[in-house]
Structure 1
Amino acid sequence: MEPVIDQAFAAALYAQDDTGLDTGASLLAADPAADDEVHVRGEEFVRRAWSRGWQPADLVRIVRRERDESAVALVAALITAETVRYPHLPPRWAGQLATLPAPAARNRPDRFSYASALLGLYRLLLGLPVIEPAGPAPGTAADRVHQPPAHGESRMLTRIRALLAKAEGTGFPEEAEALTTKAQELMARHSIDEALIAARTHSDGTPGACRIGVDAPYETAKAILLDAVASANRCQAVWNSEAGFTTVVGFEPDLEAVELLFTSLLVQGTAAMTKAEAGQRAGGRKRTKTFRQSFLMAYAQRLGSRLASGTARVTAAADAGGAGDMAGGTESAAPGTLLPVLAARHVAVTETAERMFPKTTTTRVRGATDLDGWTHGTAAADRARMGANGPGIDR
């Protein structure tokens, strides 16, 4: 049994042409007794991915990007089988596993096609590079040491999630603006509350990290939007364009806020872009790609100013002694004591990001070329703006 598997893997996994895949698939298809061992080997490839810094959502994202939905179903089955080995999993993994696509059934009637699909997936998994870990791998000593107690979502985050869901669902721009503005105020207030609690209790909490997918098309504009959301919520973002994700570094409440707000703003921006594009087409325009690119670039840039302005306003009010009254907050700080607390957290986030990413490069962004797209994108950002009117911050 094992010699057949070894022959199939040698032919298929270390070559880049289809001939090797066909040879390996033929060998496996002709030997049903090898099926169980083939899947065990696949689980080992997934386990290797954990040691290289990858997480379940990362694997699903890269497989979808490089293969197809049938391969996504195959990797989902491998992830499910591999993760049951552990008595507990790292933070954030439960949420990722809950959103896995439906796993593929094993050993389909067309054995050759199934074996070919498996080997193509294994070739991809085997070639995954090492990436910066956004947390400990399951089953490691670091995972056991840093495993936090299980807890449910806070009432504040539940309220924020509900506000953003309403903002995404309404057909009235003014209502969406009011709902999203309120959500950002709650996020900023929640972050301040957590910072004050940590300072008062001398908590030894440290910054963590999460990865958020940045998918094509128009991934550059989306990455800029995510960077703006991260900056406004006291986090730092590093984009990996080749792997299709951004790693966000920050304290846990701020990471949760970034995930929620970015997802919502992307939904709102896409809906506004589709509506504006329909109006352009009705007027006889056909340059869809340049319109969308310019729209999203303007949307991201303007929101960067609005988000930063809103956070600064809430922080200034809290530092002046109004923290207990802002957005339903419960913590309050003596006037002038909040900024040093936030400065210390900023230093901690910066040091963590620099340690995780000692070498980063700046990407030159191609300028927007469609004036109508830029104008409509700016207007959409204004409708989704965070906070009250105030001076913009150039980025």
Structure 2
Amino acid sequence: MTTETTENREPARQKMVERVRALLRMAEDPAVTDAESQAFTAKAAELMTRHAIAEAEARAQRGEEAESVSRLDFPVSGVGGHGKARVKALAGIAAAFGCQSAVRGNTSANTERTLIIVGTVSALDSLRVLLPSITLQMEASARFTARNHIADLRELRNLDRSALAGERTRFYRSFIRAYGYAVAERIREFRARLQEEPAAGGTGSGSGEESAPTGADLVLRSDVDRVKEDFQRRFPQLKPTRPERTHHRAGARAGYLRGRSAQLGMETAVGGDGAGRLPGGE
């Protein structure tokens, strides 16, 4: 019976993955607008999140154990000296999916580092598909916006090449961090709405007494607790993140607006708390 049930579920999951990949291909198309790109990405995130929660609810109804907690090592580029900013942005997005993160090799300006993400198998499956696409869009948006910012400065102020390079670096890093924060914020809001939805096909107790949490609320809360326990077991001596040192007000505002402005198919903006503490953060 278990084998048959698994076989019946696999085609549905494969169909969902194909839809997600199609949405991300459209999101990465240079011909689409920034708003359209974000909308496609958000719809992909919504599909994967809903599918994961539906599967978790179904497992609970069948009396099966909750899905396991695992680990994903995601490479993060250090090109341009912006590696720490990228780690900060992507860790925040991972946290919005209920994951915890640490980083390895976050000490040298231009070298690649590894973002270590601990989460449920479904959450990691989502991030494995979504993070490369989100990174591509984030970098393209940062390059475009930073280029325009520097062009405007050249017209308004007589700055030398060194001053302009420093200005671009500060703008770019703040843009990336704020973009990641805005995307994570919208994801958290979407997941919060899911927590308020009743379990599919669920009914009230009818006793007039306050009922226990059910459905997505119970699934998400349980997952977060299990992920925290597993993360602390894996990284018992993890150092807290150091305070941010680089901040550019215009860059942060532009990045946040880019990450929040589009209609993303989640009926809200993307975002999320719960980012893991990363050693050697900016």
Distance 1:227 1:384 in 2: 21
Aligned to 1:369: 247
The one-letter code of the counterpart of 1:345 is D
TM-aligned CA distance change 1:246 to 1:300, over 3 Å: same
Secondary structure (helix, strand or coil) at the match of 2:115 reads strand
- Name the TM-score, length of structure 1 as normaliser: 0.54
Distance 1:385 1:208 in 2: 32
1:380 to 255, 258, 268: 258
Q: Is the 8 A contact 1:185 1:314 kept in 2?
A: no
Q: Is the 8 A contact 2:36 2:262 kept in 1?
A: no
Matching of residues 1-395 of structure 1 within 5 Å: 154-169=14-29, 170-204=31-65, 205-216=67-78, 217-240=81-104, 241-242=106-107, 244-285=113-154, 286=164, 287-316=167-196, 319-321=197-199, 323=200, 333-334=202-203, 336-338=213-215, 339-383=217-261, 387-389=266-268
Secondary structure (helix, strand or coil) at the match of 1:247 reads strand
- Which segments of 5 or more consecutive residues in structure 2 lack a partner in the other structure? 1-6, 155-163, 205-212, 275-282
Secondary structure (helix, strand or coil) at the match of 1:154 reads helix
Deviation at 1:308, TM superposition (A): 0.8
> What is the total number of aligned residue pairs between the two structures?
235
- Which segments of 5 or more consecutive residues in structure 1 lack a partner in the other structure? 1-148, 324-331
Q: Is the 8 A contact 1:194 1:253 kept in 2?
A: no
Cα root mean square deviation, aligned = 2.8
Distance 1:239 1:334 in 2: 43
Aligned to 2:158: none
- Considering Cα pairs closer than 8 Å and 6+ residues apart, tell me whether 1 or 2 has the greater RCO: 2
Aligned to 1:88: none
Aligned-pair identity (%): 26
Distance 1:391 1:155 in 2: 24
Map Cα deviations across residues 205-231 of structure 1 (whole Å, 9 max, x no partner).
Answer: 421111111221312221222222222
Aligned to 1:98: none
Deviation at 1:355, TM superposition (A): 1.3
Distance 1:378 1:257 in 2: 23
TM-aligned CA distance change 1:264 to 1:276, over 3 Å: same
Secondary structure (helix, strand or coil) at the match of 1:389 reads coil
Deviation at 1:394, TM superposition (A): 6.9
The one-letter code of the counterpart of 2:150 is R
Map Cα deviations across residues 33-85 of structure 1 (whole Å, 9 max, x no partner).
Answer: xxxxxxxxxxxxxxxxxxxxxxxxxxxxxxxxxxxxxxxxxxxxxxxxxxxxx
Map Cα deviations across residues 15-37 of structure 1 (whole Å, 9 max, x no partner).
Answer: xxxxxxxxxxxxxxxxxxxxxxx
TM-aligned CA distance change 1:344 to 1:155, over 3 Å: same
Deviation at 1:267, TM superposition (A): 0.9
The one-letter code of the counterpart of 1:178 is A
- Name the TM-score, length of structure 2 as normaliser: 0.73
Q: Is the 8 A contact 1:303 1:385 kept in 2?
A: no
Q: Is the 8 A contact 1:210 1:255 kept in 2?
A: yes
TM-aligned CA distance change 1:340 to 1:369, over 3 Å: closer
TM-aligned CA distance change 1:394 to 1:176, over 3 Å: same
Deviation at 1:393, TM superposition (A): 6.5
Distance 2:146 2:246 in 1: 16
Map Cα deviations across residues 186-218 of structure 1 (whole Å, 9 max, x no partner).
Answer: 122012012112212333442111111122131
Distance 2:179 2:270 in 1: 17
Q: Is the 8 A contact 2:183 2:269 kept in 1?
A: no
